[in-house]
Amino acid sequence: MEDKSCPKCGSALSEIITTKSGKRLQRCSTSVWSKETGKTEGCDFVKWLPFEPQTLDEKCPKCGAPLIVTMTRFNKKMKKCSTNSWDPKTKTASGCDYFAWIQATVEELDEDCPKCSSKLVKVETPSGKKMKKCSTSGWDKVNKVATGCDYIEWLQ
């Protein structure tokens, strides 16, 4: 049974909101965002809803079953085989064990960097954030420093 009222104050819960990172939540309908104080006023109850697995139009390379997208507790997205399930009682996984982490997607743009005139690329992170950045930018894993042009424009 879905609980439709706030356990703190008994008011109705608001509509389900999806955050930018794909998490879903419901707030208490009495909570209001105050522009003056910059805080939420009223009841502060927030109900987090589980991430809904999405079925992909992609087949498992191991067994041919459809793949699904799930999100870990640490906000990382991965795709895994839909036949895979976890039994919390026996602490064992059953079914096919195929999974792959979803990496950021990079798309080349026909736009020039305002800083250095190289081409820009559009990047979408696994958590759903989008940005435009310079194609010359990179990450030096050895020295742990950013390399190339540092132009970044976050997209809504």
- Which spans of this chain sit near Zn ion (rule: CB under 5 A)? 6, 8-9, 11, 28, 43, 45, 60, 62-63, 65, 81, 96, 98, 113, 115-116, 118, 134, 149, 151
* Closest approach of Zn ion to the CB of residue 56, in Å: 12
DSSP 40-96: EES---EEEEPPPPEEEEEE-TTT-PEEEEEE-TTS-EEEEETT-EEETTTTEEES-
* Closest approach of Zn ion to the CB of residue 60, in Å: 3
22 vs 63 by CB, closer to Zn ion:
63
Give the closest residue to 84 by CA, choosing from 92, 93, 75: 93
* Closest approach of Zn ion to the CB of residue 11, in Å: 5
Give the closest residue to 114 by CA, choosing from 87, 70, 151, 147: 151
State the Cα–Cα distance between residues 80 and 70, nearest whole angstrom: 8
25 vs 43 by CB, closer to Zn ion:
43
14 vs 21 by CB, closer to Zn ion:
14
* Closest approach of Zn ion to the CB of residue 15, in Å: 15
13 vs 71 by CB, closer to Zn ion:
13
